[in-house]
Amino acid sequence: MICNGIKDAEFIRLAMLSRKLGFNTVIVLESPREVETVIAVARELDMEPMLGVRVKLTHRISGNWAESSGDRSTFGMNTDQLVAVIDRLRAEGMLHCLMLQHSHLGSQVPDVNDIRKAVSEACRYFTELTGEGAPLSHLDLGGGMGVDYTGEKKANENSINYTLEEYCTNIVEMVGYAMDEAGVAHPVLTTESGRAVSATSSMLLFNVLEATLYDAPTAPAAEPGDHHTLSDLIAVGGYVTPKRLQECWNDATFYRDELRALFRRGQIDLRQMARAERVYLNLMARIRTLAGDSDEDSDVAAALAAEADIYSCNFSLFQSLPDVWAIDQIHPIAPLQMLDRMPERRAILSDITCDSDGKVDRFILGDGVSPSLPVHALPEDRPYYLGVFFVGAYQETLGDLHNLFGDTNVATIRLRGDGGFDLLHEQEGDTIEEVLTYVEYDPADCVAAFRKLVDEAISNGRLTAGERRGLMRAYRDSIEGYTYYE
């Protein structure tokens, strides 16, 4: 058991005493200050600890977590501090307790050559510390093995340019050469990879509640009395041809914006404005059909991509996909049904927190990152589910209660060899009552306050006794229910 991070005396005492229970607990020294606490507790308990030392590597990795590596990373000791710690342990007669070197390389390291360079630096410290008389037997390289979220196999923020096998081979090779060169025995290698181990263990499923479609199947015809700008907009429909797509898009957008300005000034009425919006959406749909995939790089293609449908989905980005919001993490997302049919629409996904940030509008597709996701038109007779993959690393624990959406329902399953699965455990998500309690409201007080309102309405003759019962039941059912759409 390896104890990293800043530790107080109580923690260190427990860590040392745990050895009496048979745990091989290594206390990793994070700072010169911590050494003093360890020495004091060791004296107090009259015990010898198993110690590690966290060395700050200077090699800086690339990617989203570059700051967790290099000189300015927040944990571990620099060379000067390390030497001071060695001298202090030697003076205290405890240098022989130092058996592990910890060097965390960073997180989600995109480039395997960064791993090589960092490991090579870690080995230099290891052989030097050994030379100083520390009987190091373990080299702990921390976390950092990345996940290929996009499948691109490239060294960028959402992908990695190596496999698990390469990661292992490179580390073992680098360490082997470095130790042989220095004549030091090969250490036991430890890693603490979290993300790579857990990301694939979870997926988030949610249903789409409704769609805001950015097209109109038919365009209304011109009517006598239409404002001439509306007639101009309708006339654009007469020249939607492959060669004039950009022109059509320019004209349609210009007239639509003019009509909006006229509406704001009271020069056209609500019904003309509604028809104008429908004409515009219909024109966009026709332009989209003609543009197809061929115009992928044009202004029109970019504009059309920005006009994808909005699918409102039953989840909270802040609770279940916080990295998407915080660091633009891309997770693979795909429909889970109708996979034998080509998805005919494109959409972005909005959550139900009613926060404009609560949306996903970057998706990984076969040919790179796209601002919209291919989806099917929503079926009328059954729910439509989407799955977000690789959410097992951090997402649930980082998630917050923004707008009071709580933990989701969780099902734990085990995949069987025959392709089926066994349901191992079901855990119901938070209820509204529970979430209210987390933010210091007492649900009983809420019920009492509501009952008071209801009773007042009865006294004023606005409510009957039967309605009272129904209303109280609805209130109770609501706060005892799930925080998501049921």
Ligand X SMILES: Cc1ncc(COP(=O)(O)O)c(C=O)c1O
Binding site for ligand X (CB under 6 A): 4, 68, 104, 107-108, 142-145, 192-196
Which residue, 167 or 318, is less far from ligand X as judged by CB?
167
CB 243 within 8 A of CB 217: no
Which residue, 195 or 286, is less far from ligand X as judged by CB?
195
Residue 240 has which token pair?
């939607």
Burial class (CB in 10 A: 0-12, 13-18, 19+), 402: middle
- Minimum Å gap between C-beta 7 and ligand X is 13
Which residue, 27 or 145, is less far from ligand X as judged by CB?
145
- Minimum Å gap between C-beta 21 and ligand X is 24
- Minimum Å gap between C-beta 334 and ligand X is 24
Which residue, 52 or 358, is less far from ligand X as judged by CB?
52
Which residue, 136 or 230, is less far from ligand X as judged by CB?
136
Neighbours of 89 (CB within 10 A): 23
Question: In whole angstroms, how far apart are CA 89 and each of 36, 127, 415?
Answer: 10, 18, 50
DSSP 112-146: HHHHHHHHHHHHHHHHHHHHTT----EEE--S-B-
Which residue, 141 or 245, is less far from ligand X as judged by CB?
141
Which residue, 92 or 192, is less far from ligand X as judged by CB?
192
Which residue, 13 or 104, is less far from ligand X as judged by CB?
104
- Minimum Å gap between C-beta 163 and ligand X is 16
Cα separation of 27 and 7, whole Å? 9
Q: Where does 418-484 have alpha helices with state H?
A: 432-438, 443-459, 465-480
- Minimum Å gap between C-beta 172 and ligand X is 18
Closest C-alpha among 203, 119, 108 to residue 415: 203
Burial class (CB in 10 A: 0-12, 13-18, 19+), 45: middle
Which residue, 49 or 142, is less far from ligand X as judged by CB?
142
- Minimum Å gap between C-beta 319 and ligand X is 20
- Minimum Å gap between C-beta 410 and ligand X is 21
The helix (run of H) or strand (run of E) holding residue 301 is helix 299-305
CB 235 within 8 A of CB 226: no
- Minimum Å gap between C-beta 6 and ligand X is 12
Which residue, 107 or 320, is less far from ligand X as judged by CB?
107
Cα separation of 34 and 8, whole Å? 8
Residue 399 has which token pair?
């998630």
Which residue, 52 or 406, is less far from ligand X as judged by CB?
52
Question: In whole angstroms, how far apart are CA 86 and each of 35, 36, 90, 134, 178?
Answer: 10, 12, 6, 8, 22
CA-based radius of gyration for the chain: 31
| DSSP secondary structure letter of residue 2 | E
CB 124 within 8 A of CB 178: yes
Cα separation of 429 and 447, whole Å? 21
Cα separation of 478 and 352, whole Å? 17
Query: Mapping DSSP to helix (H, G, I), strand (E, B) and coil, where does residue 345 land?
Result: strand
User: Which residue in the shown chain puts its C-beta closest to ligand X?
Assistant: 143
| DSSP secondary structure letter of residue 21 | G
Which residue, 39 or 398, is less far from ligand X as judged by CB?
398
Q: With the C-alpha atoms ordered 442, 443, 448, 454, is the resulting torsion angle positive or negative?
A: positive
- Minimum Å gap between C-beta 292 and ligand X is 41
Which residue, 73 or 130, is less far from ligand X as judged by CB?
73
- Write down the residue that tokens 């959410």 correspond to: 391
- Minimum Å gap between C-beta 368 and ligand X is 25
Cα separation of 241 and 233, whole Å? 16
Residue 346 has which token pair?
């494109």
Report the b/e string of 326-343 with b at 16+ CB within 10 A: eeebbbbbbbeeeeeeee
